[in-house]
Each structure stands twice: as structure tokens, then as C-alpha cells.
Amino acid sequence: MKAIVIENYGSAEELVEKEVPMPELNDKQVLVELHATSINPIDWKLREGYLKEMLPFEFPIILGWDAAGIVKDVGADVSDFQIGDRVFARPATTAKGTYAEYTAVDEDLLAHIPENITFEEAAAVPLAGLTAWQCLVDFAEIKEGDKVLVQAGSGGVGSFAIQIAKSFGAYVASTASGKNEDFLNQIGVDHFINYKEENFEEVLEDYDIVLDTMGGEIMERSFQVLKKGGKLVSIIDQPDEQKAQEKGIKAGSFWLNPNGRQLAELADLLNRGQVISTVGHTYPFSAEGLREAHQLSETHHARGKIVIKIK
């Protein structure tokens, strides 16, 4: 099958097309014919070699950890999925990712794609949507009436986080630059903050939850908007535990744990129109398409998700 791989760490020029063997299935896996995948910053962080100690994969590495497609084969123990089903997943983190025509996915990581969304829209959801869900629901235990600040609401994780928080009945503030104000208002933000003109910590107070997608000094400043008993969850850095104790808040860093059951809950929100998948940019499935997609993601100024149309 065709895949776009890297055979060395380095720039986007390392992305090349290669014929690779079809994935082999174990009894609990499903073979997915991929129709779309999406880009996440982990793709180019891994490509550059930043994660080589944490994820010491052997070359060639097929990057990509968002799958949307059609079931072509099922393992002997698979019970909830059948050939022909439309499915999506954040597959396990292996060197056999989703910049490929086919991928093998563990059954418990899969969910059915709602009928009202396309493969491209579906491919945008799993990694970013599950990260947002787990930060807000599992870590921060979001509830109706909470005041929630989402940093970088126009990004992949942020745009899902805003909508998930709204679906729980939260009041949501979010940061982005002025060009994204209309977009954030459309997806439900109650208080938009243009980070180029305002300091969020000067205009927000007594927040219950901050979802930090930026780290560094933005994470540090995020402490100031939280009330006692509030929660700071960062997907970038480890917040200072002593500072959190002094302020009486729960703070932690979070790493996504793929989960098909939670993806099915997101599918339900998508089906009801409470969450919309924002595909900001689409590229073809070629070495050139992937290179351009990576270069855009590396600017850290893409809107919504960057999707690769495979079929």
C-alpha cells in the first residue's frame, strides 16, 4: 500500500512516498481503509526528533494518529464493528500511523462516524477532540455553570474544548488573535479575548477551569484567573505543584489516552450538532501535500484542523 513516511528525523522534506506492506491484524483489531487523516502538532514534533526518547520508533515511521474510513476486515474477536462500517479512531501510538491507505486499529479505540459528517470532518475529531474531552471531563470534572477559560480556542484542541464545555452548560472565555473572533463567537464563546490586545489575566477572575494548550508563561499567568478550588490542566507543561497548593487549586499536565467509548460520546454530540468539526485546511495525500500541511501546522496559526483527504 501507499504511505507517506519518514526515514530520518528532520524537516518536512523528510516526508516521502513509499510502498509498504499492508498492516497485519490481530484478533482484536479492525482493518480500516483510510479516507482521511488529520495533522496534529505531535506529527511534526515527532518528525523533528523531539520525541525520540519517549517514542523510540524504528524507521521508516508512518506518522499520523487520526483515522477515518471504512472497515475492510475484522479480527476473530471483534464484535462491535462489521465490514463496511464508517469508523474513526485515535489509533494506538505506534510507528504505523495513518498517513497510509490502510491502518489496523484496536476495536476498543474505534467508534462509528455519525451519518451527518464527512470522512474529512471525522478525521479532524479523534486526537484533538478526545484531548479536550479528557481534560475537561476526566481531569476537571466540568459541570453546568462552570466558568472555563480555553487557551488558543481557534486551534484543534481549543475549538473542540469550547464546544464540549458549552455542551455541559459552561460559560466559556477563550483567547485567539482578532482574525478568529467571528469564528470563536460562532462556536459559542461567551467572552472573546484578543491576546494581541488584552492580557486575559487582567480581565478574567474567579474561573473554575483553565485548559492550557500553550504552556510557558501563558500557563503561569493562567493561575491568576482561577478561584480557590479551581482546576488548571495543561497539555504542554507541568504546572508548579507548590503554587497550586498555595492557591488551593488542582493543577496537572495531561496526556491523551485514546478511548473508543469516549469517542462515541463525542460522536453523539456531533450527531446532535452540539459540536461541529472545523476543517480549516485540506491537503492531498502526497508527499508534497503532507509537507505543506506540516509547514502550516508548524506556524501554530492554523484555524481548526488541517485534514488530509486520502480517498
Write out the residues near ligand NAP by the rule CB under 6 A.
40-42, 128, 131, 151-152, 154-158, 175-177, 179-180, 195, 213-214, 235-236, 254-256, 297, 300-303
Nearest distance from residue 255's CB to ligand NAP, in Å? 4
Nearest distance from residue 75's CB to ligand NAP, in Å? 27
Nearest distance from residue 145's CB to ligand NAP, in Å? 25
Nearest distance from residue 107's CB to ligand NAP, in Å? 22
The nearer residue to ligand NAP, 18 or 301, going by C-beta atoms, is: 301
The nearer residue to ligand NAP, 213 or 259, going by C-beta atoms, is: 213
Nearest distance from residue 132's CB to ligand NAP, in Å? 9
The nearer residue to ligand NAP, 222 or 297, going by C-beta atoms, is: 297
Can you give the three-state secondary structure of the chain, one letter per residue? Answer: CEEEEECCCCCHHHCEEEECCCCCCCCCEEEEEEEEEEECHHHHHHHHCCCCCCCCCCCCEECCCCEEEEEEEECCCCCCCCCCCEEEECCCCCCECCCECEEEEEHHHEEECCCCCCHHHHHCCHHHHHHHHHHHHHHCCCCCCCEEEECCCCCHHHHHHHHHHHHCCCEEEEEECHHHHHHHHHCCCCEEEECCCCCHHHHCCCEEEEEECCCHHHHHHHHHHEEEEEEEEECCCCCCHHHHHHHCCEEEECCCCCCHHHHHHHHHHHHCCCCCCCEEEEEECCHHHHHHHHHHHHCCCCCCEEEEECC
The nearer residue to ligand NAP, 75 or 252, going by C-beta atoms, is: 252
Nearest distance from residue 3's CB to ligand NAP, in Å? 22
The nearer residue to ligand NAP, 57 or 254, going by C-beta atoms, is: 254
The nearer residue to ligand NAP, 196 or 272, going by C-beta atoms, is: 196
Q: Which residue is nearest to ligand NAP (CB)?
A: 155
Nearest distance from residue 228's CB to ligand NAP, in Å? 26
The nearer residue to ligand NAP, 100 or 150, going by C-beta atoms, is: 150
Q: Roughly how many angstroms between the first and final C-alpha of the chain, as a whole number?
A: 13
